[in-house]
Amino acid sequence: MAKYEPFHTVDLPDRQWPHQAITSAPTWCSVDLRDGNQALAIPMSVKEKLEMFELLVAIGFKEIEVGFPSASQIEFDFVRRLIDDKIVPDDVYIQVLTQARDHLIERTFESVRGAPNVIIHMYNSTSALQRKVTFGMERVQIKQIAVDGTRLVKSLVPTLTGSNVRFEYSPESFSDTETDFALEVCEAVMDEWGPTREEKIILNLPDTVEWIPFYKHADQIEWFCRNMSRRDSAIISLHTHNDRGTGVAATELGLMAGGERVEGTLFGNGERTGNLDIVTVALNRMADGIDPGLDFTDLPRIRRVYERTTRMTVPARQPYSGELVFTAFSGSHQDAIKKGMDRRSDDRDVRWEVPYLHIDPQDIGRTYDAIVRINSQSGKGGVAYVMSRDFGFELPKSMHPQVGEMINRIADEQGRELTNHEIYEAFNREFIQLRTPLEVARTSFAYVENGESRLSCRATVKMDGKEVVITGIGNGPISAFVHALEEQGWKDFDLTDFHEHAIGTGADTEAVAYVQIERHGGRKFWGTGIHSNIDTAGISALVSAFNRSQA
């Protein structure tokens, strides 16, 4: 493959970032209204931009890049709308992007007059490829563009009376710029700007195109930070894209290597394969027990606003936010999840220990409804979980295989996922409502005193459509009914298991009974009965098991 070759970056044999840990959230800056918006087939309208801005503020972003006001009148007017209508909260910095060109810088300053807090974000491309192909310039010329732009920005800051102004510089395409040259340019910018420990410059080191592996990007960040002359006067900002599919990894390793600030978008919207997905990186911090500093407790609503305003769709497998990310179809996964959920207490602060789910879906506004969904690949544990969670049936463990096999058969025949309602209807049809060949019309019981308490049963039943009155005596209702069947010569089984529990609350409480019988040939069958009277529920369960054994 002579057409391609790896990018050569810095030599860092004593790299320290692998030994570091992320112990706090970075400063977050959303670029949804700039990088995200420019990547849309249909850019957001002003109304949609305002809705997105309000969403970003509600999430907790304190730095929001709101546009490239010198690029178009629409961008300029939107920035003015935010300022003139006093939409920006007092504790939020709006960030505006400009190339290092005089007329664009001047227009940018016009757009932000009156803003309480503003970040002027200036950039110029420094990469060897851009120098060669796009600009036809040498290193010294590229560096001078950055210095001249910085000088102009600095001279215009006093014109923004009453505004808190911060400066951000980006050597665009940092990751495919020679790292020593990127540092040389940034040092020249710092010399011109004059940052201090108290008023730091933001140096944004963008992985504009993800040319290099994420671990090499971390080497670049660490080398840059270690070789800066005034590290304490700069905030190192990361801005990764996702061309290799490792934007999240590049950012997280970049934080380990010295990064303090992260620019990205909700759900990773951006040019080509997208920007960094801030949702993923922030919630990874939460999964590590670190306060992410952003509020994603209602992630479904955030996703709805995002999809409506951008006309983009969050993929079903997008980490945290995708429709299916907390869903298990696999039988073994479902069984493990059910066991984990069964052990959970109602205390939300108890340590999360549920197999296959690394966070509690409820912490980000997801429900447990979609954790287990059923298709032909699903197992007995998943079906039991749905029956317990949605309908209150606590199926005995040894009953799970029979119910699971029945549901899997139906899903396989249908060739699709079954809804929870379809699962219940199938269970009701095949385990509760079976009325052939045996159907019970009426039962009555009376105690018989003959030295010990016994119970007599008199039942009107139909066997194969023929009505018959049967009687029997036993230790309890089910025992008496079984003996009545035996008197008719219909008993070719033994009762081997019985479970019961209540379902519902208050006046709606009913009893659920589960009965297992074993035919004389060794096969076992479960049946279920529901009634307000536990004795009647037990007999109904027995009859259901009997009918299933005759099928």
Give the pLDDT of residue 452.
67
Helix (H, G, I), strand (E, B) or coil at 366: coil
User: Buried (b) or exposed (e) across 179-196, using 16+ Cβ within 10 A?
Assistant: bebbbbbbbbbbebbebe
Three-state SS annotation for 281-299: HHHHHHHCCCCCCCCCCCH
Residue 451 has pLDDT above 60, yes or no: no
Say which residue, 16 or 532, is predicted with more confidence: 16
The whole-angstrom separation of Cα 235 and Cα 237 is 6
- How far is 376 from 414, CA to CA, in rounded Å? 9
Q: Cis (ω within 30 of 0) for the bond into 89?
A: no
* Predicted local confidence at residue 481, as pLDDT: 94
**Tokens 């409480």, located at residue:** 509
Mean pLDDT check: name the lowest of 295-304, 375-384, 408-417, 474-483. Answer: 375-384
Does an H or E element contain 262, and which? strand 261-264
pLDDT value for 91: 97
Of residues 199 and 504, more confidently modeled:
199
- Helix, strand or coil for residue 324? coil
Between 199 and 324, the more confident residue is 199
User: How many angstroms separate the Cα of 259 from the Cα of each of 9, 29, 91, 207?
Assistant: 18, 13, 23, 13
Decide if pLDDT at 449 tops 90. no
Dihedral of alpha carbons 337, 290, 230, 208, sign: positive
| pLDDT > 80? residue 450 | no
Phi-psi region of 175 (alpha: psi -120 to 50; beta: other; left: phi over 0): alpha
Is 70 exceeded by the pLDDT of residue 379? Answer: no
Residue 373: band (very low, low, confident or very high) from pLDDT cuts 50, 70, 90: low
Is residue 426 within 8 Å of residue 406, measured between CB atoms? yes
Q: Assess contact for 255 and 248: CB atoms under 8 A.
A: no
Distance (Å, whole) CA 477 – CA 454: 10
% residues pLDDT > 70 (the chain): 96
Which amino acid is it at 129?
Answer: L
Better pLDDT: 443 or 7: 443
Angle of helix 102-111 versus helix 139-156 axis, rounded to 10: 30
| CA atoms of 331 and 197, how far apart (whole Å) | 57
Confidence of residue 385 (pLDDT cuts 50, 70, 90): confident
Q: Is the pLDDT of residue 418 over 70?
A: yes
Q: What is the pLDDT of residue 207?
A: 95
Pairing of strands 234-240, 201-207: parallel
pLDDT band at 331 (very low <50, low <70, confident <90, very high): low
- Span 10-22, average pLDDT: 96
pLDDT at site 377? 63
Band (343; pLDDT cuts 50, 70, 90): confident
Can you give the pLDDT at residue 498? Answer: 94
What confidence tens digit (pLDDT) does each residue in 146-158 have? 999 999 999 999 9
CA distance 195 to 416: 62
Look at residue 430 and tell me whether its pLDDT is greater than 60.
yes
| Dihedral sign (CA 348, 352, 354, 360) | positive
pLDDT band for 416, please (50, 70, 90 cuts). confident
**Mean pLDDT, the chain, whole residue set:** 92
Q: Decide if pLDDT at 287 tops 80.
A: yes
Is the pLDDT confidence value at 74 over 60?
yes
In the prediction, which pLDDT does 432 show? 95
pLDDT of residue 378: 62
- Strand, helix or coil for residue 376: coil
pLDDT tens-digit map of 130-181: 898 888 889 999 999 999 999 999 999 999 999 999 999 999 999 999 999 9
pLDDT at 371 (0 to 100): 64
Q: Give the burial class of 243: count Cβ atoms within 10 A of its Cβ; 0-12 exposed, 13-18 middle, 19 or more buried.
A: middle
Residue 80 has pLDDT above 70, yes or no: yes
Fold of 26-310: TIM Barrel (3.20.20)
pLDDT digits (tens, 9 = 90+) for 100-123: 999 999 999 999 999 999 999 999
Contact 457, 479 (CB under 8 A): no
CA angle 214, 147, 212 (to 5 degrees): 10
pLDDT in the model for residue 386: 83
pLDDT average, residue stretch 414-434: 90
**Residues, the chain, total?**
551
- What are the pLDDT digits (tens) for 511-524? 999 999 999 888 99
Q: What are the domain boundaries of the chain?
A: 26-310, 331-430, 438-550
The stretch 174-198 carries a mean pLDDT of 97
Share of the chain above pLDDT 90, in %: 75
Q: Which residue in the block uniquely carries the two structure tokens 């664009």?
A: 104
Instruction: Report the distance separating Cα 445 and Cα 132, nearest Å.
Output: 97
> 96 and 118 in contact (C-beta within 8 Å)?
yes
Six token digits for residue 487: 């008197």
**Edge-to-edge strands of the sheet including 453-463?**
438-449, 453-463, 466-474
Q: Which fold has domain 438-550?
A: Double Stranded RNA Binding Domain (3.30.160)
Sign of torsion over alpha carbons 430, 432, 438, 439:
negative
206 pLDDT tier (thresholds 50, 70, 90): very high
* Residue 510 parent element (H or E): strand 510-519
Q: Provide the pLDDT confidence category of residue 64 given band limits of 50, 70 and 90.
A: very high
Helix (H, G, I), strand (E, B) or coil at 392: coil
Please, are residues 96 and 112 in contact by the beta-carbon 8 Å criterion?
yes
From 270, 170, 257, 182, select the one nearest 217 (Cα to Cα): 257
Model-level pTM?
0.77
> What local confidence, expressed as pLDDT, does residue 375 receive?
60
pLDDT tens profile 239-268: 999 999 999 999 999 999 999 999 999 999
Residue 443 CB contacts under 8 Å (≥ 6 apart), including other chains: 457, 458, 459, 460, 477, 481, 536, 539
Side-chain-facing half-sphere of 504: CA atoms under 13 Å = 10
Question: Residue 415 has what pLDDT?
Answer: 84
- Residue 372: per-residue pLDDT: 62
